[in-house]
Structure formats: structure tokens, C-alpha cells
């Protein structure tokens, strides 16, 4: 074998896996085609359960010292209801909080750490093909012979162009929600507290939900003077998809209509790319075959509306790491990881389907279901699965679904 692991993709998934295994003596090659990393308009937050995964993988403090911000509160606003401000450290099982950062900065930090720990990094090169087998091989450019590895890991994102030729079937849900994201730079702090009080220097993620308009806004500070704000809306809520500079003004109007404060836009300006994208789930069942394993968005991409993609990616990395450490037969280990992945991803998909149906589905029947559920939530908040704190461990079975929708 040329390597123990060849990892295609040096983002969060690929670099975190290399950081976890390189100190154990694994010979690792990371191939990353971007140089430098680009802003992909998503992927700036770890949920509390994702922060716990980052700590288990040994990258939490690395990110905190370099590019990340701890966000200890989560604030939710809805017309006609009292604001809900949650102290995450006090109310999550792992006593953890959210973490935010600019996505490209996070990628650079982790890839540099992987290299410092001994992983070989080839950057600015594109993988032309992957050949499964015994051993699996990776072909860069016109190299017909390829490089061999005990295990090839595809960590090349939700639009992976390599997984289908290898033989993986990609499934996807119908389009439901559209997510439009922009960066605001200036004196604005989108993690400011708009309700209640908090300790000095504390930050919150602000979420505004407008059920009548089928819209949601999620806003956060990702670096000093730099904020990310998202408009999420049902595909039928607006006459056209918002994207590009010509749509910025209308998007700001929609953001404010959903509850975002006007002063955020008076003291900051939109910079960088502005685009929208379909948030439907895309996934591969059993993301392992014949020496090739998928992790992160290449294995399964959840809806960015709920901000769990990075946390889910780190769960993948940790599950695969644990299996590879426990079993010297890495093919058997990768098969066990595929089962682990399908189990927790299936639970996440059920949870997010519940949330999307209740909060965004259109029509009179949906409006009645929301009114019934919201009235019951006010009496018994435990009806709401705590996906923020628990992630895939939040209940998502038939009983949980019926309680969430107010059917029992």
C-alpha cells in the first residue's frame, strides 16, 4: 500500500479524520482541490452536541484558539409569543454550547493541523477517478496506475462527483425549503441579545420564525465585525428564488419582515457572495463499498435550515475513527461504520422532516396543526424534541412525532 488512508477532500471531515488518526501512526494522504478554500455560504455553526464531538476528536480548543467563537445562548422569536432565550451550557446534557466561525478559516486551521501531525497534503490537485477494489486506488490527473490505500475516504461534499462512478446511489428528498445566505460586515452584531439579559461578552444565536409568511431567519456573529444571516422560506412562499446582487434589497426586506432588526442593516453592508440553494436531504444508503467509505456531506447532507451539518459531519468522523481504532481489519471496520452512520442519520432525517412539516408546510390544514401544536408546547415544552441539545438522540419515533404534532 502507498498509504493507510487516502482522503479526498481536506475540509472539516477529511482534516478532522486525519487529525484523529495521524498521531496513531497512520500513513495519510489528503488531496484537496481548492487552494485557497472558498466561502460556500453555509457551515458556520456547531450545535452543542457537535461541540461535544469536536471535543472528543480533540479539535475544539484548536478552533477556539484560532478562529471560533463560543455562543452560549440560543434565542427564538415568534410573533405573538414571548421570546425564548436558552442557556445552552446549563441545559444541554454535555454542558456545551454552540461554536461559530468563518467556514474557510476553520478549514485552513484544520488542514494545517493535519499536516503538522504528519499527514501528507496535496493541494490544488483534482482526483480524476477512484477505483474500488483490493486495494482501492485514487487517480490524480492522468495517472492511470493511481495510489493505493487500505481505505479510501471520500470527504468531497454534498455534490461529490466521485461517489456515483464508484457505485454509490444518491437519493434525495423533494425540494421543500430554500435557504438564502449573506454576510454582513460592519458595526452590527447579529449575536446581540434582543431579549432578557446575559453575562458580559456572552453571545446568542438569534432565530426569528414567521409562520404566516412561511419564513425563518437565523443570524449569528462568526468573527469580529462579520456576521452570517440566513433567510429560510418554503419554496411556495415567494414568487421567485432570491439569489445574486439584484436580489439583496428584496432579501433584506424579507429578513426584516420575518423579524430581523432594521438596525442590523443600517450599520453593516452585505459583502461576498449572495446565493440561495435547495435544502433537501441527499444521502447514500450504507456509505461503504469495496475499500471506499464516505463521510460528511458526501455520505449524507441534512437540511442546512437546522444548522446540524457540521455536527453531523463530526459524528461521522468520530464513528469511523472509533471503528478503525477498534478493528485492524479496516474493511470490516468501515462496514460497521456504515451501519452506525445509517442509524443516526435516519434519526436525524426523521427529526428534520417533523420540523419542516410542522413549521413550513402551507395550507389551512397546516395552519390548524401549527396552532394546535403551539398551544400544547406552551403547556408542555417537552413535546418538542430537543434536537439542538441532543441531536440524533432526540426522540423521533412515532410517539414523539404524534406528541410534536399535538395528535396525542
**Does 199 have pLDDT greater than 90?**
no
**Spatial CB neighbours of 179, under 8 Å, sequence gap ≥ 6:** 42, 230, 231, 232, 276, 277, 279, 304, 305
**The CATH number of the domain covering residues in 1-67+102-173+282-408:** 3.50.50.60
pLDDT band at 310 (very low <50, low <70, confident <90, very high): very high
Q: What percent of the chain has pLDDT over 70?
A: 100
Within 8 A by CB and 6+ apart from 374, the residues are 81
pTM above 0.85, yes or no: yes
Could you tell me what percent of the chain has a pLDDT over 90? Answer: 94
pLDDT at 196: 83
Q: Give the residue carrying C-alpha cell 490505500.
A: 149
Q: How high is the pLDDT of residue 272? A: 87
The answer to whether 13 and 36 have CB atoms below 8 angstroms apart is no
- pLDDT grade, residue 201 (50/70/90)? confident
For the chain, give every residue range classified as CATH 3.50.50.60: 1-67+102-173+282-408
- Could you tell me which of 295, 277, 293 has the C-alpha nearest to residue 345? 295
What pLDDT digit, counting tens, does each position of 69-118 carry? Answer: 999 999 999 999 999 999 999 999 999 999 999 999 999 999 999 999 99
Q: What is the pLDDT of residues 145-193, one digit of tens each?
A: 999 999 999 999 999 999 999 999 999 999 999 999 999 999 999 999 9
What's the rounded Cα separation, in Å, for the pair 68 and 62? 9
Opening angle at CA 164, ends 163 and 168, nearest 5: 75
Closest CA to 122 of 8, 9, 30: 30
Q: The domain 177-278: what is its CATH number?
A: 3.30.70.2450
Based on C-alpha coordinates, what's the Rg of the chain? 21
- Report how far residue 404's alpha carbon sits from residue 330's, in angstroms, rounded to the nearest whole number: 41
Is the pLDDT confidence value at 197 over 90? no
Length reported for the chain: 408
* The pLDDT value given to residue 348: 97
Intervals of CATH 3.30.70.2450 along the chain: 177-278
Q: What are 59-69's pLDDT values in tens digits?
A: 999 999 999 99
Amino acid at each position: 500500500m502507498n498509504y493507510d488512508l487516502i482522503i479526498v477532500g481536506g475540509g472539516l471531515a477529511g482534516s478532522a479524520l486525519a487529525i484523529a488518526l495521524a498521531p496513531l501512526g497512520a500513513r495519510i494522504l489528503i488531496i484537496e482541490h481548492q487552494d485557497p478554500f472558498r466561502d460556500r455560504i453555509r457551515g458556520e455553526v456547531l450545535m452543542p452536541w457537535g461541540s461535544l464531538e469536536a471535543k472528543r476528536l480533540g479539535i475544539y480548543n484548536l478552533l477556539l484558539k484560532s478562529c471560533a467563537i463560543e455562543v452560549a445562548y440560543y434565542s427564538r422569536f415568534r410573533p405573538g409569543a414571548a421570546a425564548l432565550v436558552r442557556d445552552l451550557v446549563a441545559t444541554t446534557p454535555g454542558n456545551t454550547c454552540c461554536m461559530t466561525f468563518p467556514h474557510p478559516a476553520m478549514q485552513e486551521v484544520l488542514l494545517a493541523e493535519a499536516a503538522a501531525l504528519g499527514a501528507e497534503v496535496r493541494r490544488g490537485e483534482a482526483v480524476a477517478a477512484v477505483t474500488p477494489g483490493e486495494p482501492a486506488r485514487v487517480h490524480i490527473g492522468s495517472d492511470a496506475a493511481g495510489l493505493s490505500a487500505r481505505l479510501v475516504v471520500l470527504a468531497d461534499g454534498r455534490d461529490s462527483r466521485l461517489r456515483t462512478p464508484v457505485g454509490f446511489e444518491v437519493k434525495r428528498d423533494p425540494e421543500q425549503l430554500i435557504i438564502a445566505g449573506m454576510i454582513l460586515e460592519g458595526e452590527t452584531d447579529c449575536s446581540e441579545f434582543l431579549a432578557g439579559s446575559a453575562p458580559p461578552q456572552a453571545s446568542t444565536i438569534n432565530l426569528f420564525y414567521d409562520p404566516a409568511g412561511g419564513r425563518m431567519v437565523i443570524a449569528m456573529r462568526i468573527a469580529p465585525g462579520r456576521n452570517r444571516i440566513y433567510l429560510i422560506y418554503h419554496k411556495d412562499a415567494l414568487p421567485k428564488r432570491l439569489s445574486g446582487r439584484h436580489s439583496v434589497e428584496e432579501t433584506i426586506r424579507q429578513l426584516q419582515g420575518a423579524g430581523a432588526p432594521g438596525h442590523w442593516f443600517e450599520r453593516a453592508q452585505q459583502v461576498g457572495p449572495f446565493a440561495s440553494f435547495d435544502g433537501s436531504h441527499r444521502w447514500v444508503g450504507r456509505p461503504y463499498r469495496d475499500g471506499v467509505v464516505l463521510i460528511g456531506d458526501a455520505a449524507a447532507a441534512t437540511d442546512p435550515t437546522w444548522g446540524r451539518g457540521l455536527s453531523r459531519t463530526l459524528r461521522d468522523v468520530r464513528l469511523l475513527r472509533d471503528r478503525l481504532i477498534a478493528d485492524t481489519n479496516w474493511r470490516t471496520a468501515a462496514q460497521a461504520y456504515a451501519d452506525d452512520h445509517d442509524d443516526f442519520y435516519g434519526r436525524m432525517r426523521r427529526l428534520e422532516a417533523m420540523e419542516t412539516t410542522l413549521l413550513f408546510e402551507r395550507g389551512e390544514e397546516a395552519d390548524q396543526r401549527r396552532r394546535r401544536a403551539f398551544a400544547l408546547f406552551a403547556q408542555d415544552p417537552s413535546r418538542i424534541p430537543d434536537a439542538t441539545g441532543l441531536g440524533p438522540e432526540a426522540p423521533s419515533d412515532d410517539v414523539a412525532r404524534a406528541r410534536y404534532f399535538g395528535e396525542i
